[in-house]
Structure 1
Amino acid sequence: MNANADRIAQAESHFGVRFPADYRHFLATEGSMSRFVPPADDFLMINSIAELIDVNEAGEFQEYFPGSVVIGGDGSREMLVYDFRQTPPPLVLLDVSAQDWSSAIHQALSLSALLEQFPETGWKWDESAGHPVTSPGDR
């Protein structure tokens, strides 16, 4: 196993999840990103594997949002989060001040889908732009 694969496995073990294949591939090949994406001109940041645990512990997201893993955001207040309460885990947007999952705004069903649609759509800011986020009790 190479160093990146070791770090990915350590992060998965830390969070008790298996990251989706496309996210694992992104981490192993691209590593991270932080830039304005034209033509939408929204800022998209995806953290490196080295930052992943620290970012999640700094925001105490695991305590407020069990089953969440923050992987990036808009470079400001919005966090891009995997919702591992669902299989496969969708990507949602949560403000740093969010109190519960009801504030989550669906972005995409996978990282590949997000990266494909992001140049055109940018961030989705309301539920009419995506799927409603449900908690396990809602099913």
Structure 2
Amino acid sequence: MSSNDDQIAQAESRLGVRFPADYRTFLATGGSVSRFVLSADDFLMINAIEELVDVNEAGDIHERFPGGVVIGRDGDREMLTYDFRQEPPALFLLDNSAQDWSAAIHQATLLTTLLEQFPEHGWNWDDQEPATQ
């Protein structure tokens, strides 16, 4: 098992989830992103594996968003969050001041899809479809 695989397994254990396969692959290849995407006119940040546990423990994420795991941000107030209450877990944006899932804005079912579409579309701000309660 590689060092990244060990870190992924440790993060999954601490967070009580099994990451989707495409996200595990992203992390295993040293995946993280922090950049302004000019074509989308949006900022995209996806945390490195070393940051995941601290990010999720620092913001009372599990209390406010049961089943939620924050994996990134929009560079401002919005947190890119997996909703592990559903299978497969989908990705949502949540304002860091939100108290529950009612304010969730659906982004994509797969991280791969989000990353492929992001340069053209950026964040989805119009889809106010709340996550399943």
The answer to whether the superposition gives a TM-score over 0.5 is yes
Kindly state the Cα deviation for residue 62 of structure 1 after the two structures are TM-superposed: 0.9
Q: Aligned-pair RMSD on alpha carbons?
A: 1.1
How far apart, in 2, do the equivalents of 1:68 and 1:26 lie?
A: 19
- Work out whether 1:135 is the aligned partner of 2:103: no
How far did 1:126 drift? 2.3
Counterpart of 1:40, as a letter, is A
Residue 88 of structure 1 aligns with an amino acid whose one-letter code is P
Deviations 1:36-95 (A, max 9, x none): 113112100000010000001111111110100000011111000000001000000000
SS at structure 2 position matched to 1:127? coil
Q: Give 1:31's aligned residue.
A: 31
Match for residue 51 of structure 1? 51
Deviations 1:95-135 (A, max 9, x none): 0000110100000011000001100110111226xxx2332
- For 1:72 and 1:111, locate their aligned partners in 2 and report how far apart those are by CA, in whole Å: 11
Equivalent residue, structure 2, for 1:118 = 118
Give the 3-state SS of the residue equivalent to 2:52 in structure 1.
Answer: helix
- The residue type paired with residue 26 of structure 1 is F
Secondary structure of 2:118's counterpart equals helix
Give the equivalent residue in structure 1 for 2:109.
Answer: 109
Structure 1 residue 30: deviation in Å?
A: 3.7
Percent sequence identity over aligned pairs? 70
* Aligned-partner Cα distance in 2 for 1:122–1:98: 21
For structure 2, which runs of at least 5 residues remain unmatched after alignment?
A: none
Question: Which residue number in structure 1 is paired with residue 17 of structure 2?
Answer: 17
User: In the comparison of the two structures, how many residue pairs are matched?
Assistant: 133
Normalised to the residue count of structure 2, the TM-score between the two structures is 0.95
TM superposition score normalised by structure 1 = 0.91
